[in-house]
Structure 1
Amino acid sequence: MKIAVIGGTGLIGTKTIAILRAAGHDALAAAPSTGVDTVTGAGLDEALTGAQVVIDLANSPSFEASAVLAFFSAHEANLLAAEARAGVRHHVVLSIVGTDRSPDNGYFRAKLAQEALIKASAVPYTIIRSTQFMEFLPSIAEDGQKDGQVRIATGLFQPIAADDVAAIVAEVALSAPGNGTVDIAGPDRAPFNEIVGRYLTAVDDARPVVADPDARYFGSRVEHDTLVPQGEARLGPTNLTEWLARKRGMTAAASA
């Protein structure tokens, strides 16, 4: 089966394509670097020719509120129109847990607008809302850095490993469209500051983590359950201890 992976050269895209190809599917990596631009439409019809499933993993090059909204609006409108022309039977998109609970976050608002376009389309769909990836813990720590401390919000956090995200995305893509939303998360739920503290300890980073209820998460306020599933969710198998052990192993190998 041909599956077009929009954003197929990114973190989740490359992992998803590897899983699909190993299972014998024709998985196409569609991205500007491979000649497919969903914002302009360039190369889009060619990429979707013969595709039965589209996995939508595209991301905005800018996180500024108006720019990210313009990106996802143009991207999704062009992509859905091309899917209708190509007769695509399942649109799978990766979104964010809590995207409907953070009105002060421009990126989340843009993802919510993207979801609305998908729901209004005639193309059958499944929306996968994921918690943050464990792989983003380093950038989260850096974003919280101030005066030698790492200030992190105290709301709940439940990160998921990128490998687990890719595995679930691939599985959903090979299933019938649900015309609904699935939440996915990692197995460990704890205060945000505690998880970041565990990460810094694991990589021998001595900076203290300060629990700050007013600390921002990439500019957005984090309430108690903003970033975690509030109802039923599918949990990835990789826990934080396992992921941190792998991280330590990779760091040791790189420095050897």
Structure 2
Amino acid sequence: MNARRKAVVLGGHGMTGVKVVRLLESRGWDVFAASRRTGVDLLSGEGVADAMRGAEVVVDATNVPAYDEETLRTFFARAAANIIPAARQAGIRHHVVLSIVGIDTLPHITYAQGKIAQEQAVVESGVPYTIVRATQFFEWLGVMADDFTKADVAAVPDAYLRPVAIDDAVAALVDVASAPPINGVVSVAGPEENTFETWIQRYFDLTGDKRTCITSKEAAYAGGKLEQRSLVPEQATITGAQSFEHWATSATGKAVLAGINVA
């Protein structure tokens, strides 16, 4: 009997990472969920080399642990400084990184600066890699709406979104991780593109939220301005299967719309 392939999922207990772990395991992988819960600290480097020993693939599904300016700007680069040497030492054959569609066009946004640095470190590492840039998740529409709300009005950017179900983004990550590295970027997006205003208002309508959504040319996204097509791919490499309507009737969608934390 052939030995099972081993994968390490960084951020393996986060909202995305836990789903990546489960799907990889369901496909027969031996998976280690790496996080501080399992003795892996990406900033100090503690446990990183041990976690990767014997692994073939590393999937990086980490996110920032805090949202202050310093953490947003430096977390990913500091983590990469520990991840990459450990990956080289372990002979990792494929380093898969979850990133964001359009992130490279937003260097004026602090969070984007951190993700750009992460991507650059991976590209220059010498470890075979694939960067998977996903659009925003359906699951985050409510959080985004709250960020734009003052009183009973959500004033959103004059821009487009093509959100995807988190389960579809995870399936894309696992498919990529199971295939040979391309040393390049793939994008995953949902099947429908529309304006911020349309998406947020649809979310309000589904949840019975009495807020109103309007488009404002003054609205900032994560502290910076967007062009109309900053957050949508020119042509998605992978299109998620679930429409917004289908997602809204799924177990995950129903839970999110009911205000239940699905992380």
TM-score normalised by L of structure 2: 0.92
Partner SS state of residue 61, structure 1: coil
**For residue 218 of structure 2, what is the aligned residue in structure 1?**
214
Q: Output one character per residue of 1:182-237: Cα deviation in whole Å (capped at 9) or x when no partner.
A: 01111110011111100110011011111112211222212110010023431111
Give the CA deviation at 1:253.
Answer: 11
Count of residues in correspondence between the two structures: 254
Aligned to 2:201: 197
Q: Which deviates more, 70-79 or 226-235? A: 226-235
Contact 1:159/1:186 (8 A) holds in 2: yes
User: Residue deviations 1:10-53, cap 9 Å, x none?
Assistant: 11111111111111110110011211011111011111110000
Number of the residue aligned with 1:58: 62
Residue equivalent to 2:174 = 170
String of CA shifts for 1:152-205, please: whole Å, max 9, x gaps. Answer: 112011111100011110110010000000011111100111111001100110
Distance in 1 (alpha carbons) for counterparts of 2:253 and 2:21: 26
Among 66, 72, 78, the residue aligned to 1:68? 72
Provide closer, same or farther for how the CA distance between residues 140 and 253 of structure 1 changes in structure 2, counting only shifts above 3 A: closer
Secondary structure of residue in 2 paired with 1:116: helix
Partner of 2:126: 122
Measure the CA separation in 1 of the matches of 2:18 and 2:219. Answer: 33
Aligned residue identity for 2:16: I
Partner of 1:33: 37
Compared with structure 1, are the counterparts of its residues 80 and 176 closer, same or farther at alpha carbon in structure 2 (3 Å cutoff)? Answer: same
Structure 2: stretches of 5+ with no match in the other structure: none
1:126-160 CA deviation, whole Å, 9 max, x = no partner? 00011111111111010011021111112011111
User: Aligned partners of 1:103 and 1:43: how far apart in 2?
Assistant: 32
Distance between the aligned counterparts of 1:212 and 1:76, measured in 2?
37
Q: Give the secondary-structure state (helix, strand or coil) at the position aligned to 2:155.
A: strand
CA distance in 2, matches of 1:71, 1:253: 29
Do the aligned residues in 1 keep the contact of 2:111 with 2:222 (CA within 8 Å)? no
Distance 1:103 1:179 in 2: 22
Among all aligned residue pairs of Structure 1 and Structure 2, give the percentage whose two residues are the same amino acid.
37
226-235 vs 189-198, greater mean Cα deviation:
226-235
Q: CA deviation at 1:252?
A: 6.1
CA contact (8 A) 2:13 2:35 kept: yes
Q: Structure 1: where are the runs of 5+ without partners?
A: none
- Within a 5 Å distance, the mapping from 1:1-256 to structure 2 comes to 1-246=5-250, 249-250=254-255
SS at match of 2:9: strand
CA shift, 1:245, in A, is 2.8
Contact 2:7 2:56 in 1 (8 A): yes
Q: Secondary structure at the match of 2:79?
A: helix
Q: 1:118 to 1:240 in 2, by over 3 A?
A: same
Any conservation in 2 of the 1:184–1:235 contact (CA below 8 Å)? yes
- Letter paired with 2:15: L
Matching residue's letter, 2:119: E
RMSD: 1.6
Distance 1:60 1:180, change over 3 A: same
Q: CA deviation at 1:68?
A: 2.2
Letter in 1 for 2:191: P
